[in-house]
Chain A
Amino acid sequence: MAEVPPSFRRLLALLLLGSAASLWADEEPPLPTWDMRPTLPGQMPEGAPAPIVAPENEGALLLPPAEGTDFFPQLGPDRDVTSLMIDEGGLNPHDLSLFLRGGLLSAHPAPSTIPPPTPTGSLRDLPLEHLRTAAAAPANEYLMDPQSLVTEVLRLDLDRLLEFHGSDARIKLYILVLDRDQKLPAEANLDSLAHGALTRGDSCLAIYPLGEPWRTRYLMSRSVIHSLAQNELADLADDCTQDAMLATDSMLQLQRFAVRLSTRLFKLERHLPPRVTETKAAPLDEVTRSPSLDKPVAVKPWGSWGWVLLTAGLAGLTWLIVLTLHLAFKSRHRLPAAVTQVWLLSEPEIPSRLGGAFSGGGGASGSFGKP
């Protein structure tokens, strides 16, 4: 065998190496991927993060997700897997409620229990020091809550509402918040509230017991009362009270009340005469409400009562018809009453006729067939 020259040997080696490299490239195994499937049931794959312990099930481990499910494990049946990524859309009230617990934006507020109304005899007077505090309040403090009964969030809302009302409306609106079992003392001097601001210009003061809107008292400047009809003012008071009673939560009631009263006062301005600059202070007078609203009657939509009355009317009419038919049937088939009287006929002497011993054929006959 002839000896192979070295150059040819080098060339052959290069060719062999190149072919081997190309073969390795085709058969190269894929890059390792993270395999989430457990090797054994109940066993976490290697390198998997630590299992998440559901807060509801302390001490219990969540099983890894089954094949084909999302990576994010289920946190429980009651929680939504809601993404908080801003770029995925606007925030919804549910997200905000995670930060603002019990706020006005809560989509599902906690159900409030409605306590029974306070008996008239159990009402206690508002302590005078609270009245002095309210009197010392500045004139632009329209929400007077000396006992801090209103929540902070609602207070901010109402302050903004009443400030806007005060800046734009002719009749200023002041709200004095009492506790649900409180009433204004008889000797209270309301003219001094807010540094006497209620007596300067057209004003409306609502004495609002928190949680019992039906006991709200409305006081207005005499100039307003004298310019409007009594029924108009009474309607305003009834409307605001009824609207507040549509809510069951005391804070929501107050919010509805304030919004409603502000709106009605805006509408009332159209019926007021031109503003007259008064030189002396005008005291407040109370608006008389409808007596039916003194009781905490739940306000129901008229529609349900209408249907109830209609159904009752139809049922009564049906019963009447059935009773009439029944009585007619019974009278048709009633059993005769006991006979206590008899009728006796005379015994005439009639000669026999046609050979009949008892009858001579007297009588009458007719046809009832169709003509």
Chain B
Amino acid sequence: MKCPHCSSEISATAAACTACGFSAGAIRAHLGAEWVRLDRITDNSQRLSLRDTRHLEAVLDDFERRFPQCFVALFLGPLPTPLTVMDLGFWLINHGAFHTESMSKRNDYGIALVVDSLKQTVGFTVGYALEQVLTEPVLNRILTKVQPHFRKGNWGRAIEKAIKLIELTLKSQATKVDLDTDQLPPSLGDLGAMGLELLRKNHSSPASQPNKTHG
């Protein structure tokens, strides 16, 4: 394995990089240890048009539906000088609360795609569960194919192509399961299984309230 900061070879269970001292603790010293809300797209560079942003939202949503365990979080913007795209990606996967409306997702199935608009660098950081599928050579090949689009300034096209290539790679290792959309909820009173959430947790159903007379 390689250090995300200096790309030095490190062991699979190393607590810190022996070459540069990079670790989760070291990065927290710069970015903090709090959880942050992680959206699908964080465009701090204003490089994506509204049309591209909405299109990527649809592409990412489609990805999450096909791979219900996984998610992709995009971060586009200038990074502080000592911070690299891999540093931020490492911190986002370990401290980002990914916002999703569907089932909960585990961060070890997450993919952070970080683009530094100033240094013009792009990096993929994946969780532990995806390291054996999205290996470094595979991700390097994907980067080679999308770099021309980044050079031309077509960031939306580059990101979409990268996600498509990641899908193809994941499908080669994943198990296809037919989605039964007509399945009934397990019980009649289980609102959560129906996708509904109470507005206030202390609200009770009308059937449980005693009869009140008005007059």
Contact of A343 among B5, B132, B177 (CB under 8 A): B177
Are B12 and A351 touching (Cβ within 8 A)?
Answer: yes
Given contacts A353-B14, A363-B126, contact A358 B66 (CB under 8 A): no
Given contacts A345-B69, A368-B121, contact A358 B127 (CB under 8 A): yes
Are B15 and A362 touching (Cβ within 8 A)?
Answer: no
CA distance A335 to B109 in the complex (A): 25
Given contacts A344-B174, A360-B131, contact A354 B66 (CB under 8 A): no
Given contacts A340-B181, A345-B70, contact A355 B16 (CB under 8 A): yes
Are A356 and B176 touching (Cβ within 8 A)?
Answer: no
Q: Which residues from chain A contact B140 at a C-beta distance below 8 Å?
A: 364, 366
Instruction: Please give the distance in Å from B60's CB to the nearest CB on chain A.
Output: 10
Q: Which residues from chain B contact A279 at a C-beta distance below 8 Å?
A: none
Of residues 316 through 371 on chain A, the ones whose CB sits less than 8 Å from some CB of chain B are: 333, 335-336, 339-348, 350-370
CA distance A90 to B121 in the complex (A): 94
Contact of A363 among B16, B24, B89, B133 (CB under 8 A): B89
Given contacts A365-B85, A368-B120, contact A359 B12 (CB under 8 A): no
CA distance A184 to B125 in the complex (A): 97
B39 at the binding interface (Cβ < 8 Å) = no
Q: Which residues from chain B contact A353 at a C-beta distance below 8 Å?
A: 1, 10, 12-14
Contact of A358 among B123, B128, B136, B179 (CB under 8 A): B128
Chain B interface residues (CB < 8 Å from chain A): 1-5, 10, 12-17, 22-25, 51, 55, 58-59, 61-62, 65-70, 84-86, 89-90, 93-94, 106-110, 112, 119-134, 136, 139-140, 143-144, 147, 150-151, 170-171, 173-179, 181
Are B110 and A359 touching (Cβ within 8 A)?
Answer: yes
Are B93 and A356 touching (Cβ within 8 A)?
Answer: yes
Inter-chain contact count A-B, CB under 8 Å?
A: 182
Are A359 and B121 touching (Cβ within 8 A)?
Answer: no
CA distance A72 to B98 in the complex (A): 103
CA distance A353 to B151 in the complex (A): 33
Given contacts A342-B67, A352-B128, A354-B16, contact A361 B90 (CB under 8 A): yes
Which 8 A/B pairs are nearest by Cβ-Cβ distance? A365-B123, A361-B4, A355-B24, A369-B120, A343-B174, A364-B139, A358-B107, A336-B62
- 12 further interface pairs, Cβ-Cβ under 8 Å (given A350-B108, A360-B128): A339-B62, A343-B174, A343-B177, A344-B69, A350-B129, A355-B23, A359-B128, A361-B4, A361-B125, A362-B131, A366-B121, A370-B151
Q: Which residues from chain B contact A369 at a C-beta distance below 8 Å?
A: 119-121, 151
Are A363 and B129 touching (Cβ within 8 A)?
Answer: no
Task: With CB as the reference atom, state the residue of chain A lying closest to B68.
Answer: A342
Are A345 and B130 touching (Cβ within 8 A)?
Answer: yes
Sample of 27 A–B contacts (CB below 8 Å): A333-B51, A336-B65, A340-B179, A340-B181, A342-B176, A343-B66, A344-B177, A345-B174, A345-B175, A348-B129, A350-B132, A353-B10, A354-B14, A354-B22, A355-B15, A356-B24, A356-B93, A357-B24, A359-B93, A360-B131, A361-B22, A363-B4, A363-B126, A365-B122, A366-B122, A367-B121, A370-B151
Are A367 and B25 touching (Cβ within 8 A)?
Answer: no
Instruction: Please give the distance in Å from A154's CB to the nearest CB on chain B.
Output: 76
Interface class of chain A by DSSP: loop
Are B1 and A362 touching (Cβ within 8 A)?
Answer: yes
Q: Which residues from chain A contact B69 at a C-beta distance below 8 Å?
A: 344-345
CA distance A167 to B83 in the complex (A): 111
CA distance A333 to B50 in the complex (A): 13
Q: Which residues from chain A contact B109 at a C-beta distance below 8 Å?
A: 345
Q: Which residues from chain B contact A335 at a C-beta distance below 8 Å?
A: 58
Are A365 and B124 touching (Cβ within 8 A)?
Answer: yes
CA distance A79 to B182 in the complex (A): 91
CA distance A6 to B34 in the complex (A): 162
Q: Which residues from chain A contact B143 at a C-beta distance below 8 Å?
A: 364-366
CA distance A151 to B192 in the complex (A): 102
Which of A350, A358, A359 gathers most chain B CB within 10 Å? A359
Instruction: Please give the distance in Å from A37's CB to the nearest CB on chain B.
Output: 84
Contact of B122 among A351, A358, A362, A368 (CB under 8 A): A368
CA distance A84 to B121 in the complex (A): 97
CA distance A362 to B123 in the complex (A): 10
Q: Which residues from chain B contact A362 at a C-beta distance below 8 Å?
A: 1, 125-126, 128, 130-131, 134, 136
Are B127 and A359 touching (Cβ within 8 A)?
Answer: yes
Instruction: Please give the distance in Å from B132's CB to the nearest CB on chain A.
Output: 6
Which of A343, A346, A362, A363 gathers most chain B CB within 10 Å? A363
Q: Which residues from chain A contact B127 at a C-beta distance below 8 Å?
A: 358-359
Task: With CB as the reference atom, state the residue of chain A lying closest to B171.
Answer: A343
Are A358 and B93 touching (Cβ within 8 A)?
Answer: yes
CA distance A335 to B59 in the complex (A): 8
Instruction: Please give the distance in Å from B102's CB to the nearest CB on chain A.
Output: 11
CA distance A346 to B67 in the complex (A): 12
Are B124 and A344 touching (Cβ within 8 A)?
Answer: no
Are A339 and B23 touching (Cβ within 8 A)?
Answer: no
Given contacts A342-B179, A348-B132, contact A336 B58 (CB under 8 A): yes
Q: Which residues from chain A contact B112 at a C-beta distance below 8 Å?
A: 363
Are B15 and A364 touching (Cβ within 8 A)?
Answer: no
